[in-house]
Amino acid sequence: MKSILIVDDSPTMRRMVRASLRDLKNVSCNEAASGLEAIEQLALARSDLIILDLNMPDMHGLDVLRFVRGHDAYRDVPILVLTTRDDEESKDVALAAGASLYLTKPFPPPFLATHVRELLHMN
């Protein structure tokens, strides 16, 4: 069973991401409503993939990304940034900080599921 952590301050967006992934077999989704909550959850249980928003009120997604990449246990865990920020600078900064993939909202659900499958090496 693969575990995905969905990190977004919007409950609606977390539901949309979860719904987009519902057809994936052997995948469980956990949710965090903030960057700090995500870090707490990662300390308690391993995730195989993190889907991370950038714009959050308590801790910016880039700070979460840098924190996660700074720990050996999560250095190789794929991090998919899913955000409304569609400028090249934001994308370049996130990828340089260690994001595995950068996608923008809104997104077609099958598009997200395909990328998640690829990042988790699911065929």
Percentage of the chain with pLDDT > 90?
A: 94
- DSSP assigned state of 32: E
The torsion angle over the Cα atoms of residues 26, 31, 36 and 40, rounded to 10 degrees, is -50
Domain ranges of the chain: 2-119
pLDDT per residue over 61-105, tens digit each?
Answer: 999 999 999 999 898 999 999 999 999 999 999 999 999 999 999
Cβ partners under 8 Å of residue 116, min gap 6: 4, 21, 24, 27, 49, 51, 80, 122
pTM of this prediction exceeds 0.85: yes
Q: What is the CATH number of domain 2-119?
A: 3.40.50.2300
Mean pLDDT, range 2-17, rounded to an integer: 97
Is residue 3's pLDDT more than 80? yes
Across the chain, what does the average pLDDT equal?
95
Residue 78 CB coordination number (10 Å)? 19
Please check the confidence at residue 123 and state whether its pLDDT lies above 90.
no
